[in-house]
Structure 1
Amino acid sequence: MIDYIKGEIAELTPASITVECAGVGYIASISLNTYSALNGATAAKIYVYESIREDAHVLFGFSDIHERALFLQLISVSGVGPSTARMILSSMSAKELEAAIGTENVAVVQSVKGIGAKTAQRIILDLKDKIKLTDEAGALQLPTHASLPETGREAVSALVMLGFSQQASQKVVAKIVKTAPSLPVEAIIKDALKRL
């Protein structure tokens, strides 16, 4: 099991990161929270979860060990796989998720694309005793320096990588960018995840 990878960031998108370590490039799927934390950095230490299936070995990367711990707790819930856990952690910050679980707020957990009422209730039931409730469910700090056309393209690209159709992604992102042209890419994607 790989614990972490430390090296230069060769490529960073809202959905994945490639870290070069000792001449080898490791690609890992990441959440928007990790993207926000690493955006603009040239080097990174990412904590890793390795998903081994018959047809593929997939790495999931996290900028901090707390997010990985929360990811591991999510995938321990029946019916929640690594991709779903990443979607949850892309839709809200770790603190927001912990607050929703701690206060048994099914509606917040269910607001994530692909999470039904039963799954949301199961997540809360299974994890409410394992999650430490924090005082503040602070909003995610998002960078605002990306230019408008680039943010739209990056958002669509990330949504397609997450499994949504190109056409639906472009339609939703176009609406969001039209009403709020200064939104950063992470905020566009979060909004799109709620609408798709």
Structure 2
Amino acid sequence: MYEYLNGKLAYKAPTHVVLDVGGVGYHVHISLHTYSQIKDVEQCKLFISFQVREDAHTFYGFAEEGERRLFEHLISVSGIGPGTGRMILSSITPDEIQLAIINGNVPLIQRIKGIGPKTAQRMVLELQDKLKKQGPDALIAGPRQQSVPEEALSALVMLGFTRTQVEKVLGGIAQNNPEMTVEALIKGALKKL
């Protein structure tokens, strides 16, 4: 819903900022990692994760898109909410968290306040494969570029086709025509689906 907010920092604290965007002040929760990157600036752009609960609509802001993506991975783990996700990102750097999960370093993860052994193991179990597929630097370095077949797959799944159905059809088409554009690949797949 919200990609980023760009404006003047009306108030800064290690846990949150008030970002003035066109005369409207947005209260945005931040990690210590983000605070260290924006503490000396007057204006900034924060990548937003908008969290909705029954009793609150909350903005979480990050100086880097990779940190936001890691935050969203973290809160997808059962038992980790936005507050705990922010605590994790405030305790150790995003790079260290990512490497700890990829390498299965449960003792390091357990040292974070509020993370017990079961939660640390669940983080590794649920996120290790996702983070390995993206590569060790993908989350922090920036958005990962999708390949032509991945982009076509995403588009066809959004159109309502099942992932397994689309993967079978796309695999054959892409293998026989490796130079196809996304549009041509989607059109070819639609004829066979």
TM-score by length of 2: 0.68
Map Cα deviations across residues 116-138 of structure 1 (whole Å, 9 max, x no partner). Answer: 1000000011111111324xxxx
Report deviation, 1:40: 0.6
- 2:172: which partner in 1? none
- Which runs of 5 or more structure 1 residues have no equivalent in the other structure? 135-196
Q: What CA distance in whole angstroms lies between the structure 1 residues aligned with 2:11 and 2:34? A: 13
Q: What CA distance in whole angstroms lies between the structure 1 residues aligned with 2:104 and 2:53? A: 32
- 2:136: which partner in 1? 133
- 1:95: which partner in 2? 95
- 1:7: which partner in 2? 7
Aligned residues: 135
- Give aligned-pair identity as a percent: 46
Q: What CA distance in whole angstroms lies between the structure 2 residues aligned with 1:63 and 1:27? A: 15
CA RMSD after TM alignment: 1.2
- Which runs of 5 or more structure 2 residues have no equivalent in the other structure? 138-193
Map Cα deviations across residues 56-113 of structure 1 (whole Å, 9 max, x no partner). Answer: 1111000010000000000111111100000000000010001111110001111111
Matches within 5 A, 1:175-190: none
**What amino acid maps onto 1:116 in structure 2?**
G
Which is greater in Rg? Answer: 2
Matches within 5 A, 1:158-177: none
Q: What CA distance in whole angstroms lies between the structure 1 residues aligned with 2:68 and 2:39? A: 18
- 2:45: which partner in 1? 45
Q: What CA distance in whole angstroms lies between the structure 2 residues aligned with 1:27 and 1:64? A: 18
Q: What CA distance in whole angstroms lies between the structure 2 residues aligned with 1:96 and 1:86? A: 15
More helix, by proportion: 2
Q: What CA distance in whole angstroms lies between the structure 2 residues aligned with 1:94 and 1:100? A: 10
Deviating beyond 3 angstroms after TM superposition, the runs of 4 or more aligned structure 1 residues are none
SS at match of 2:47: strand
Tell me: higher relative CO, structure 1 or 2? Use CA pairs within 8 A at least 6 residues apart. 1
Q: What CA distance in whole angstroms lies between the structure 2 residues aligned with 1:75 and 1:13? A: 23
